[in-house]
Amino acid sequence: MSDNVLFASINLPIGDWLKQKMTTDIMAIDVDRWWWDNYRGTHMLPLMTRGGIAGKHGASNKRNEPFHWVQYTPISVRAWFDNVVFPWMGMRTRISALLMAAGTSNKEHIDCDLIKMGTRQHKFRCVIHGKTNTLYFKTQGGDVYVPDIATPFIMDGSWPHGMYNATGDNKLTLAVGSPWEGNSSYNNIDIMMDKQDHIMPNNYKQYFQQ
């Protein structure tokens, strides 16, 4: 069942050439367009927002405008989401690029509000430069790292997680966020980590944004 997904690969087409193209295009965007998310400990670049607004303000979902691409978003990114991802998801939603420098840590956190714990909180991610297996979930048995895969993936954002980029290069991830919170069923996924096989730590509330 999809509600048991902790981590699942998604069989959507994205080859190495397209990942390299999107990485080059995104990294060519002016650095002033990025903002620092202190809660997660990562640099973020809004790519699709409500009203197509850029910057940290654009990342907010507190407006009612429909979702539009931010003006600087590369064609390579737009085409892949418009033609591949959105038809699979069934909607448009907020998209950001996340950049983690080599040897840095993503702060351990939870990607939903406390009131939404126990509901479906799936997040779509695609690492276009770097390794997926720097991501881990907090469990009562210790940190559990995800497998290294080349495809996009779903993760449970309501489970405390973090990331340590132990590689010698930047990690660049395309992240899909709210209001998409997942589907009751999916096509073309492979559940690689099941929530029933792990126990969330008792102190999980400390990982929410204060």
Through-space distance between the first and last CA atoms of the chain, rounded to whole angstroms: 32
Long-range contacts of the stretch 147-152 (C-beta < 8 A, 24+): 147/7, 147/192, 149/9, 149/192, 150/16, 151/9, 151/10, 151/11, 151/12, 151/14, 151/126, 152/9, 152/10, 152/12, 152/14, 152/85, 152/124, 152/125, 152/126
Q: How many Cα atoms sit within 13 Å of 36 on the Cβ side?
A: 4
Q: Six-digit token pair at 62?
A: 């507190």
* Distance (Å, whole) CA 78 – CA 81: 5
Cα distance between residue 208 and residue 180, in whole Å: 19
pTM, 2 dp: 0.92
Residue 69: what pLDDT? 97
Per-residue pLDDT, 168: 87
Tokens of 132: 């997926």
101: nearest Cα among 166, 11, 148 = 166
4 vs 28, more confident: 28
Spatial distance between the Cα atoms of 46 and 109, rounded to a whole number of angstroms: 20
Residue 55 confidence class, pLDDT cut points 50, 70, 90: confident
For 200, other C-beta atoms within 10 Å of its C-beta total: 18
143-193 tens-digit pLDDT: 999 999 999 999 999 999 999 988 889 999 999 988 898 888 888 899 999
- The two structure tokens encoding residue 23: 């990485």
Give the DSSP per-residue string, 73-92: --HHHHHHIIIIIHHHHTS-
99-117: average pLDDT: 87
Asked if the model's pLDDT at residue 23 lies above 90, the reply is yes
What is the chain's mean pLDDT, rounded? Answer: 91
What does the pLDDT look like over 72-105, one tens digit per residue? 999 999 999 999 999 999 999 999 999 999 998 8
Q: Are 135 and 121 in contact (CB under 8 A)?
A: no
Question: Domains in the chain and their CATH numbers?
Answer: 2-207 (2.60.120.330)
